[in-house]
Amino acid sequence: MENNKSTLVVFSGDLDKAIASFIIATGSAAMGNQVTMFFTFWGLNILRKEQYVPLQKSFMDKMFAKMLPRGPEKLGISKMNFGGLGAKMMKYTMKKKNITTLKELIEMAKELDIKMVACTMSMDVLGIKKEELIDGLEYAGVASYLAEANEANINLFI
């Protein structure tokens, strides 16, 4: 087989969709594909550090920062969230059934050399700074994503 590429735009910040993204991405990398994940809009929440990072921000940026969840442990699910209960149920049942957690999937993605890119325009809109995101990311815009997608076999928007 030739050198195959996969790209995923991770737009959603829902726990269930984030898990699906990383399962597809790590699965594809494990098959030998070169994988790029492009995190944009709410998808950036997946990459936020759990701890609060004190920074100078405008009022609006502070508002967004407060309202948006910080990292994998804080994400809700896209259906039946019931104020976080659904997300808890899903995490509880996944743990009990020994299914890899989102945090572990993110670590696995790094180990598999998946390129994780944070969308700089979305960071600007939501007022998110590099200091607030986890280590090991690249930073780029849509042109960089499109250049890769043009050459990839699998392109998904999640």
| Tokens, residue 119 | 């969308």
Nearer to its own copies by Cβ, of 116 and 127: the residue is: 127
Q: Name the one residue in this structure whose structure tokens are 């309202």.
A: 67
> In DSSP terms, which residues pair with 115 in a beta bridge?
36
Element holding 63 (H helix, E strand): helix 59-67
- Given a contact cutoff of 8 angstroms between Cβ atoms, the answer to whether 7 and 148 are in contact is yes
Q: Tell me if 142 contacts its own copies by CB under 8 A.
A: yes
H or E element: which one contains 140? strand 138-140
What would the two tokens of residue 157 be? 């928007």
Q: Which of 50, 73, 124, 138 binds its own copies (CB under 8 A)?
A: 124
Tell me which residue of 69, 147, 84, 92 sits closest to 115, measured CA to CA: 147
Q: What mask, x for binding its own copies by CB under 8 A, covers residues 71 to 100?
A: -------xxx--------xx-xxx-xx-x-
CB of 134 to its own copies, least distance (A): 21
Which spans of this chain sit near its own copies (rule: CB under 8 A)?
Answer: 1, 4, 9, 11, 13, 16-17, 20, 23-24, 27-28, 30-31, 33, 40-42, 60-61, 63-64, 67-68, 78-80, 89-90, 92-94, 96-97, 99, 121, 124-125, 127, 142-143, 145-147, 149-158
